[in-house]
Structure 1
């Protein structure tokens, strides 16, 4: 993220009446060179078939980068707009626990991306994209995650413990490639609490935040991946603190319940 964008975001947030204590960045933007290394900071190794809805996404464009995503139908993956933004193609890794050993891969071009038209890379709002994929056959290792019900759109989930998963960095200084899919249990916090870190321009009703405790958080490489609660998809990994993934600052996700209508209109998929 360049200096202009960071300053513009800070000014815009102050003008909204909430003075931020931190600057958010997309996990993808925290690396200085394209990388697919690392895992969730201080997470746990996932068991085989524990997260059959998790996919790895290897994007190509002006460079290359790694993100996560969630299977929401046998022909659609949900991820973050900052992952698809600027990409010309993606290779989807299905059924991986060991990142380099997927059960199946498919490659599709950007013509199969449905990026939210109002995605804003300054405020980070509307950070959500769909990827239309070839049809896959579900199994123990490859399966969809259930979408949240429309009725749950009014739930904040505050105080509940959700699970984030992905292959993001193990630490702010990590350089080694992660072998196994990682996951972490993270407690959802109120948006008002998250706004004290990032301001109300960033933390809107379309965002859900979790607390980072004991240096456990999402990090570079986790972008676009799932935040699940009771086997339902409630968040898409969107941003972390610019200070680092191990600074115990809140992590932000796109709130899926805020985009159920958008998902249905673009893919026909409903809860």
Structure 2
């Protein structure tokens, strides 16, 4: 097992600013036993979208389904550890085409025990992405505060050269700087990328070290699955609940 990363490499590195939840009220923090685990975004009254790999252990999604009481979502606070409101997670649904070995379609839906307070608006899903703001909870002065970073879109072919075509497909987009040490980190996974107030992506993965130049972050493009998300909201399809098996 790899040693734990230095805390400064776990979340947004060299953020543009500490953000206010009032500016991004649709942001959510996914907690495991009240500790920050991943980010997410509110997309319906009782629904949060996040990264699927945040909700599995060793390629198996059974654990958190059996121990769903460990999971909660905090909304309405700029601090992931207190304030706002806590909601229990009651169900977890993975995208039916999610592949844990390549992180393709790395999306999951969380259903909450009740509707979120009306003053926490949901995001609207964008069909097309060109650029993005990335929001997440980063460490600052011992607190886990909401932070914002603006990242330019990174050429997809160049991104594939770095991570490989298996990990970066046409259902992804990449964002990051070539020369600046500003980035998001793997522990920001599940957090949203926003463009003009629209949800355009969910962070899938990034570089293991957040202080490296030319190491873009990889997002799942939500526009590629917009129909799936909308259909989930209408409850018109049966969601997949199969246990994810180890890859061959």
**Residue of structure 1 equivalent to 2:137:** 167
Indicate the RMSD between aligned Cα atoms, in angstroms. 2.6
Aligned equivalents of 1:39, 1:122: Cα separation in 2: 23
Matches within 5 A, 1:222-241: 222-241=188-207
Structure 1 residue 221, shift from structure 2 partner: 3.0
**Residue of structure 1 equivalent to 2:94:** 115
Aligned equivalents of 1:184, 1:236: Cα separation in 2: 14
Give the number of the structure with larger relative contact order, counting CA–CA contacts within 8 Å between residues 6 or more apart: 1
Determine if contact 2:40/2:190 at 8 Å carries over to the other structure.
yes
Aligned equivalents of 1:257, 1:235: Cα separation in 2: 8
TM-score calculated relative to the size of structure 1: 0.73
Structure 1 residue 31, shift from structure 2 partner: 7.3
Determine if contact 2:77/2:83 at 8 Å carries over to the other structure.
yes
Give the SS at the match of 2:42.
strand
TM-score calculated relative to the size of structure 2: 0.79
Q: Does 1:135 align with 2:115?
A: yes
Determine if contact 1:166/1:221 at 8 Å carries over to the other structure.
no
CA deviations 1:221-250 (Å, max 9, x no partner) are 3110100000000010111123x1111201
Aligned equivalents of 2:10, 2:78: Cα separation in 1: 14
Matches within 5 A, 1:176-187: 177-187=142-152
Structure 1 residue 59, shift from structure 2 partner: 2.6
Structure 1 residue 108, shift from structure 2 partner: 2.0
5+ residue gaps in structure 2?
58-63, 236-248
Give the SS at the match of 1:69.
strand
> Structure 2 residue aligned with 1:200, among 165, 176, 186?
165
Matches within 5 A, 1:14-93: 32=4, 39-43=11-15, 44-59=17-32, 66-86=37-57, 87=64, 88-89=67-68, 90-93=71-74
Q: Does 1:215 align with 2:181?
A: yes
